[in-house]
C-alpha cells in the first residue's frame, strides 16, 4: 500500500484535487483515528478486570457510558471489546496503533472472535497479525478472516437453537402504531407452533361461517367486523386474534394481575383534532394521532395529567406516607418511563420500582426524605439494589429538578427531569386557540346585546349613499351624460317612511 497504489485503487487521476482528498482521508484514518481509538480502548480496558464482581462491573459500565455519552448497553459492549482487544488480541491491537490495521477491520475481528476461547483468540491474533495487511484489500481480509474463524469450528461461533430461544418485541421505527413480535427457537418447535396456530385459525373461521348461517354468537369477532360485513375474518387476522386473545398456559402457576395499566398519553389538542402531534404508549412508544383518538373514544374514562406549558414537566401529586399511592405511581410512570439512572435504557413502566432519592426514615419520618414526586423516581431492579447498597448516590436540586448521580468513585453526571416534549411545542398553539375561543365568546355577547345594530340615522345615511350610487351609475352610462347639469337622484317615496317631510 503506497500513495501511488492507493490512488490507483481509488480510480482517480494522480496529482488532482480528488487524489489529494483520498490521500488526506487515508492519512487521517491511519494516524489520527488510529491513535484516538487505541487511547480510548486502553482507557476503557483499565475499567475492566476479570476479578470484578457483578456490581463493580455494572458501576464501571455506567461510568464508561457516561464518558462515551451513550446508553448503558453500548457502554457494556465497549468495555467488553476493550478488554478483549488489549488482553486477547495484543498483536493485532499493536498493528492498529501503528496504522497498519484499519479500525473498521479490527472491529470486525473483535466481533468475529467473541465466541472463541481465550486460547483460540490468541491463535487468531498471532495469525492475523502476521498477515501482510498493506498488501490485501478489504474483501480479501474479510474472506480470509471468515476462513480462519471457520477453522475453529462453527459450533464455537454460534449459539445452538436451544440457546437462542427467545421472544422479542420491536416497535415499528416508523412510529405508525405497529410493532413486531419475533419468536426465535428451534425450527421444529416453531413449525409445530405455526401449524397449531393455523389449525386453530381455520377452526375458528369455520365456526364464524357457521355462526353467520345460524345466527349464533360469533366467536373471535374483533371489533364486530364479522357481524357488520357478514363474512368470516381472513386467516392472517384470525391467527393474530387466536394468538393474542388465548390464555397463556403457565403450568398451574398463578399469574398476578398487572400492577399498572397500559398508559396512553394524548396531547389535548390531538384529542380535540386540532393537532396531529403523536401520543405515547407506555411513555416511550409513539403512536399516530388517529390511533390515539380511536383508543380515547373507546375508553370509559380519562385521567387528566397537567404539564407545565414552558418546560413540559408533569404537575406532581403528593403523599405524606412512605408507601407510594396509586395515583403517584401512575404519575411517576409518566415522568420516568425508563430507569432514571443515566445511560440505563430499561423500561420501568411495568417492571420497575419506585425509589426515594433522599432516603425515607421509617423510624423518624420527619428526618428523612418525603414521599413526594419531587423526591421520587423509578429504577430498574438492578440499579435500585445498587442504590440501596450505596453504590449509586443521587441528589436532586429542588430548584432546577436536576439530579446529580455519583457512580461509586468513578464518575459524576447530571440528569434533567423527563417531561412531555409535545407540551412545549403545542403550548403556544393551545394558548392561541383559547384566546380565539374567548374572542368568539365576547363577539357573540356583543351581537346579542345589540351594540352593533344600526341606528335610525345610520340607516338613513346608508339608503342615501345607495341612492346616489345607483343614480351615478345610471346617469354616466347614458350617451348624453355631461351635456347638462346632473339633476341628482329622484326624491324618496314618502311611503317608505324615509322620504322628506310633507311640507
The H or E element that residue 445 is part of is helix 421-449
Distances (CA, A) of 43 to 38, 49, 77, 300: 9, 12, 14, 56
pLDDT digits (tens, 9 = 90+) for 374-416: 888 889 989 999 998 888 999 988 888 889 999 888 888 888 8
CA-based nearest residue to 42, from 77, 70, 66, 78? 78
| Contacts of the segment 314-323: beta carbons below 8 A, 24+ positions apart | 314/373, 314/419, 314/420, 316/372, 316/373, 316/374, 317/373, 318/371, 318/372, 318/373, 319/371, 319/372, 320/370, 320/371, 321/371, 322/360, 322/362, 322/365, 322/371, 323/371
Nearest residue to 202 (alpha-carbon basis) of 230, 243, 244, 234: 234
pLDDT category at 96 given cuts 50, 70, 90 is very high
DSSP state of 234: P
The per-residue pLDDT for 93 is 96
Q: Is 39 exposed, middle or buried (0-12, 13-18, 19+ CB in 10 A)?
A: exposed
Residue 258, SS3 per DSSP:
coil
pLDDT of residue 155: 52
pLDDT score recorded for residue 85: 95
Q: How far apart are CA 331 and CA 67, in angstroms?
A: 31
Retrieve residue 424's grid coordinates. Answer: 412545549
pLDDT over 90, % of the chain: 17
Q: Which residue did the predictor score with more confidence, 329 or 226? A: 226
DSSP letters of 53-95?
-HHHHHHHHHHHHHHHTS-HHHHHHHHHHHHIIIII-HHHHHH
| Triad 7, 10, 12: Cα angle to 5° | 70
> Region 44-68: what's the mean pLDDT?
83
What confidence category does residue 320 fall into, taking pLDDT thresholds of 50, 70 and 90? Answer: very low
Half-sphere exposure (Cβ direction) of 254: Cα atoms closer than 13 Å: 2
Cell of 477: 352610462
Give residue 318's pLDDT.
43
Percentage of residues in the chain with pLDDT exceeding 70? 86
Residue 253 to residue 364: CA distance in whole angstroms: 40
| Per-residue model confidence (pLDDT) at position 47 | 87
**Mean pLDDT of the 314-333 span:** 65
- Residues 477, 482, 484, CA angle at the centre, nearest 5°? 125
Report the mean per-residue pLDDT for the chain: 82
The residue assigned the cell 339608503 is: 463
CB atoms within 10 A of CB 67: 18
- Total length of the chain: 503
- Burial class of residue 118, CB neighbours in 10 A (0-12, 13-18, 19+): exposed
Over residues 118-146, the mean pLDDT reads 90
Residue 419 has pLDDT above 80, yes or no: no
Is the pLDDT confidence value at 189 over 90? no
Q: Which residues contact 367 (CB under 8 A, 6 or more apart)?
A: 361
Among 343-352, 453-462, 479-488, top mean pLDDT goes to 343-352
Going by C-beta distance under 8 Å and a sequence separation of 6 or more, which residues neighbour residue 16? Answer: none
pLDDT of residue 319: 41
Residue 495 has pLDDT above 60, yes or no: no
Least confident of 128-142, 240-254, 320-334: 320-334
Rounded-to-integer distance, Cα 230 and Cα 185, Å: 39
pLDDT at 500 over 70: no
Look at residue 503 in the predicted model and tell me its pLDDT. Answer: 44
Task: Kindly state the average pLDDT of the residues 285-312.
Answer: 77
Summarize the confidence of residues 271-294 as an average pLDDT. 83
The phi and psi torsions of 171 (rounded to 5 degrees) equal -65, 150
For residue 249 the three cell numbers come to 398456559
- pLDDT value, residue 92: 96
What local confidence, expressed as pLDDT, does residue 247 receive? 81
11-15-20 Cα angle (round to 5): 75
Q: What is the DSSP letter of 367?
A: G
Contact call for residues 358 and 369 (beta carbons, < 8 A): yes
Among 33-37, 253-257, 335-339, 352-356, top mean pLDDT goes to 33-37
Banded model confidence at residue 161, pLDDT cuts 50, 70, 90: low
- Please tell me the distance from the alpha carbon of residue 243 to that of residue 262, in angstroms, as a whole number: 19
What is the maximal distance between C-alpha atoms in the chain?
127
Domain boundaries, the chain: 3-154, 166-245, 264-298, 326-415, 426-470
Amino acid at each position: 500500500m503506497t500513495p501511488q497504489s492507493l490512488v490507483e485503487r481509488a480510480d482517480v487521476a494522480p496529482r488532482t484535487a480528488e487524489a489529494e482528498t483520498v490521500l488526506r482521508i487515508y492519512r487521517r484514518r491511519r494516524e489520527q483515528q488510529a491513535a484516538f481509538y487505541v487511547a480510548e480502548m486502553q482507557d476503557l480496558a483499565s475499567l475492566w478486570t476479570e476479578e470484578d464482581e457483578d456490581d463493580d462491573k455494572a458501576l464501571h459500565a455506567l461510568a464508561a457510558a457516561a464518558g462515551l455519552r451513550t446508553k448503558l448497553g453500548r457502554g457494556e459492549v465497549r468495555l467488553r471489546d476493550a478488554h478483549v482487544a488489549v488482553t486477547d488480541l495484543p498483536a493485532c491491537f499493536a498493528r492498529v496503533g501503528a496504522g497498519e490495521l484499519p479500525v473498521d477491520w479490527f472491529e470486525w475481528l473483535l466481533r468475529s472472535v467473541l465466541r472463541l476461547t481465550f486460547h483460540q483468540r490468541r491463535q487468531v491474533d498471532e495469525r492475523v497479525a502476521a498477515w501482510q495487511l498493506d498488501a490485501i484489500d478489504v474483501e480479501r481480509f474479510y474472506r480470509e478472516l471468515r476462513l480462519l474463524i471457520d477453522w475453529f469450528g462453527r459450533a464455537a461461533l454460534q449459539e445452538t437453537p436451544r440457546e437462542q430461544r427467545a421472544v422479542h418485541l420491536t416497535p415499528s421505527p416508523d412510529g405508525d402504531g405497529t410493532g413486531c413480535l419475533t419468536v426465535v427457537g428451534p425450527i421444529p418447535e416453531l413449525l409445530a407452533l405455526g401449524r397449531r396456530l393455523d389449525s386453530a385459525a381455520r377452526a375458528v373461521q369455520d365456526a364464524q361461517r357457521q355462526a353467520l348461517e345460524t345466527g349464533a354468537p360469533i366467536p373471535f369477532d374483533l371489533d364486530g367486523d364479522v357481524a357488520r360485513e357478514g363474512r368470516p375474518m381472513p386467516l392472517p387476522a384470525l391467527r393474530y386474534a387466536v394468538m393474542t386473545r388465548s390464555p397463556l398456559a403457565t403450568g398451574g402457576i398463578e399469574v398476578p394481575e398487572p400492577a399498572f395499566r397500559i398508559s396512553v398519553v394524548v396531547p389535548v389538542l390531538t384529542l380535540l383534532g386540532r393537532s396531529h402531534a403523536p401520543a405515547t404508549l407506555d411513555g416511550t412508544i409513539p403512536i399516530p394521532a388517529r390511533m390515539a383518538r380511536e383508543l380515547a373514544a373507546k375508553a370509559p374514562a380519562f385521567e387528566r395529567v397537567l404539564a407545565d406549558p414552558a418546560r413540559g414537566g408533569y404537575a406532581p401529586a403528593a403523599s405524606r406516607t412512605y408507601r407510594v399511592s396509586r395515583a403517584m405511581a401512575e404519575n411517576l410512570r409518566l415522568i420516568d418511563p425508563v430507569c432514571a439512572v443515566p445511560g440505563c435504557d430499561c423500561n420501568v413502566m411495568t417492571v420497575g420500582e419506585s425509589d426515594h432519592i433522599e432516603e425515607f426514615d421509617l423510624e423518624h419520618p420527619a428526618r428523612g426524605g418525603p414521599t413526594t414526586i419531587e423526591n421520587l423516581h423509578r429504577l430498574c431492579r438492578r440499579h435500585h439494589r445498587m442504590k440501596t447498597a450505596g453504590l449509586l448516590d443521587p441528589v436532586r436540586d429542588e430548584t432546577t429538578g436536576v439530579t446529580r448521580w455519583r457512580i461509586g468513585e468513578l464518575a459524576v453526571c447530571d440528569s434533567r427531569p423527563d417531561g412531555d416534549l409535545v407540551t412545549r411545542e403545542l403550548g403556544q398553539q393551545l394558548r392561541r386557540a383559547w384566546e380565539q375561543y374567548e374572542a368568539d365568546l365576547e363577539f357573540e355577547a356583543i351581537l346579542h346585546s345589540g351594540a352593533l345594530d344600526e341606528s335610525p340615522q345610520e340607516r338613513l345615511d346608508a339608503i342615501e349613499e345607495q341612492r346616489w350610487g345607483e343614480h351615478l351609475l345610471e346617469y354616466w352610462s347614458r350617451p348624453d351624460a355631461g351635456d347638462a347639469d346632473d339633476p341628482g337622484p329622484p326624491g324618496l317615496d314618502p311611503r317608505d317612511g324615509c322620504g322628506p317631510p310633507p311640507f
